[in-house]
Amino acid sequence: MFKKILIANRGEIACRIIKTARRMVIATVAVYSDADARAPFVKMADEAVHIGPSPAAQSYLLAEKIIEACKATGAEAVHPGYGFLSERTSFAEALAAEGIAFIGPPVNAIAAMGDKIESKKLAMQAGVNVVPGFVGEIDDTEHAVRISAEIGYPVMMKASAGGGGKGMRLAYSEQDVREGFEAVKREGLNSFGDDRVFIEKFILNPRHIEIQILGDQHGNILYLNERECSIQRRHQKVVEEAPSPFVSPMMRKAMGEQCVALSRAVGYYSAGTVELIVSGADPSGESFYFLEMNTRLQVEHPVTECITGIDLVEQMIRVAYGEKLAFTQDDIKIDGWAIENRVYAEDPYRGFLPSTGRLVRYNPPVTGWEGGIRGVDGVRVDDGVMDGGEVSMFYDPMIAKLITWGPTRDEAADLQIAALDQFEIEGLGHNIDFVSAIMQHPRFRSGELTTGFIAEEYPGGFQGAPASDELLRQIAAVAGFMACANADRARQVDGQLGDDLDPPGDWQITVNGVAHDVEIGADEILVDGVSINLFLEYTPGDKLVIAEIDDSDLAIKVAKTATGFAMTTRGATHKVRCLPAHIAPLAQHMIEKIPPDLSRYLICPMPGLITAVHVEAGDKVEAGQPLAIVEAMKMENILRAEKSGTVKIVNVKAGDSLAVDAIILEME
């Protein structure tokens, strides 16, 4: 077995590979950029080598830097993780030339399947169903417009070397193609070093199903069941699960065998994933189409590990060393259900804008990398950040992955909700409320999923998960208990209420503008006259409280406000005002501060780079017209006019780096 391997990646996947290597008694080498100098994966590795500045193009994407690090440390093999150099044939070839093993598939398989255009040609030749489209290189925007019209809208424009949701645009019209084609080319070039684009028909109401492939260098290729990855936003997966609630045993076998045949055609070995689109218009589930093959480990691989009991990173290392797979297709089973939620640094309450900055507080429900494949009591956290660390604008916005396993799908989803309630992140925007809301959504629970789930269920944006009247009363009870404890603490510390005066027992607790009468008694709590059986250990200042209500636990994240608390639980943040009952009547006389009108300003919604400005002072614009493009976390964001008007002044130019809330332009 290898004695030392280098991980040519960063963040949670680097940590994940190091964990398995440790168990296999293999020494590890990390490489890192300026931005990652103090990152957890650097500390976890046995050795670490600095390879350049923060931008990936000047560090993680430089093959020669990786090879130099291998030579300097004596690393015998390289695991590329995903993204970066994981699907670069030139990288695998360069390693081979230096006698360094590549922990991944053979070069010819990467070349055949990593290129989205060539892989479609190969799939067609192999008799695999492919999505109708134009399989070839596209010259320019005008060519793209002609092709799209011939295919018929809607169409999907994709960077040939793309992946992970990068370099993709959905077009419903000629205008969409004209606006998006060049952006796809740029994203492909910036993220993958390849600006070729292809166009294919967009299948309406599709499900996104993928098959995990694992092969060795002795001709054995297996499929490790499927993953459902239909819940996506901007073509970036948000929720993944295994198995799929849609796939039948017969369909699983047909998909698996077809994907194995395709893999065998290119001599594939190592871990890989064949992605399929299943038409939601076909209830039989037989209409599935080849989408692409990712010749690497997938972000969502943990859910497959949970239901099969197979460590995919370990198998990749063993296969790269030349070992045979120690199991056969008949050994691959499905044990229980696993769900993964990607915790992103983005704000769902502000249109999912990327959010970068320091993690003032980072406290996952279980410590990252504790436990085995299924974590601790069915909860696993794969992360690469720490308390006080930073989420940089230079890389992907994923903070962590939360994986839960249970005997059934509902149990795995319930574990997700409970774990998300205890996942503490402060200092930047995150999507914890949003993914919790998905876990509770009736449509998710029913398994009726398509890639349009988020757009269809949250057409007006996300405003928090709906809360039942029972939950709101429980929140009021907990808030009343905490307000009473805080008042008692104040009396004890500085005598604010006098030595002989007990803290108020009667409170008016207003939750999201709705008032509740709360009575705190010695043995019970009444909310609007209804008794609530509440047990709570609380010390003033606690940021996370676990309330036991009628023998069930409710975790609530708490932030103190001027008049009460901001209490976050079950996918929503609730504004809570706490007033002693005798003071509450005076609250109507309190003056409410009205925020200033900023509607005439175009404000930068996230830290990023201005890549284009489409207007000048004096230009008249219409609502919806593109005004500027901001690039953040490898994605381009088009900023549009909210209303018609005339541009008064433009404060920026292409190439400027802006902070969040910087004023880009002002309207008359």
- CA atoms 53, 58, 60, 62: torsion sign: negative
Provide the 10 A C-beta neighbour count for residue 173. 12
> Nearest Cα to 433, choosing from 348, 545, 555?
348
The CA distance from 315 to 258, in Å, is: 22
- Which is nearest to 269 in space by CA: 321, 307, 231, 197? 321
Helix runs in 236-352, H state only? 249-265, 301-308, 312-321
The three-state secondary structure class of 456 is helix
Instruction: State how far the Cα of 344 lies from the Cα of 341, in Å rounded to an integer.
Output: 9
Question: How far apart are alpha carbons 145 and 138 in whole angstroms?
Answer: 10
Alpha helices (H) along 463-504: 469-494
The Cα diameter of the chain in Å comes to: 88
Instruction: Tell me the H-state helices in 322-428.
Output: 409-421
Q: What angle do CA 17, 5, 403 make, to 5 degrees?
A: 5
Nearest CA to 233 out of 165, 160, 323, 161 is that of 165
Please, is 499 exposed, middle or buried when counting C-beta atoms within 10 Å of its C-beta (0-12, 13-18, 19+)?
exposed
Residues 482, 538: Cα–Cα separation, whole Å = 7
What is the three-class DSSP state of 497? coil
CA distance 465 to 240: 20
Return d(Cα 291, Cα 294) in angstroms, integer. Answer: 10
Strands 424-426 and 361-363: antiparallel
CA distance 372 to 270: 22
Query: For residue 15, which amino acid is it?
Result: C
Say how far apart CA 66 and CA 60 lie, in whole Å: 8
Q: How far is CA 52 from CA 26, 34, 65, 142, in A?
A: 26, 6, 8, 39
Helix, coil or strand: residue 585? helix
**Beta carbons of 222 and 214 less than 8 angstroms apart:** yes
For residues 269 and 104, is the Cβ–Cβ distance under 8 A? no
Please report the beta strands in 164-269, taking only residues with DSSP state E, as ranges in sequence order.
Answer: 166-171, 197-201, 206-215, 221-233, 236-242
Among residues 481, 493, 454, the alpha carbon closest in space to that of 567 is found at 481
Helix axes 409-421, 432-440, angle to 10 degrees: 150
Which is the catalytic residue, given 76, 240, 275, 292?
292
Count of residues for the chain?
Answer: 668
| 41 in Cβ contact with 10 (< 8 Å) | yes
Take residue 243 and report the two structure tokens written for it.
């198995």
End-to-end CA distance of the chain: 69
592 is catalytic: no
Catalytic residue IDs = 292
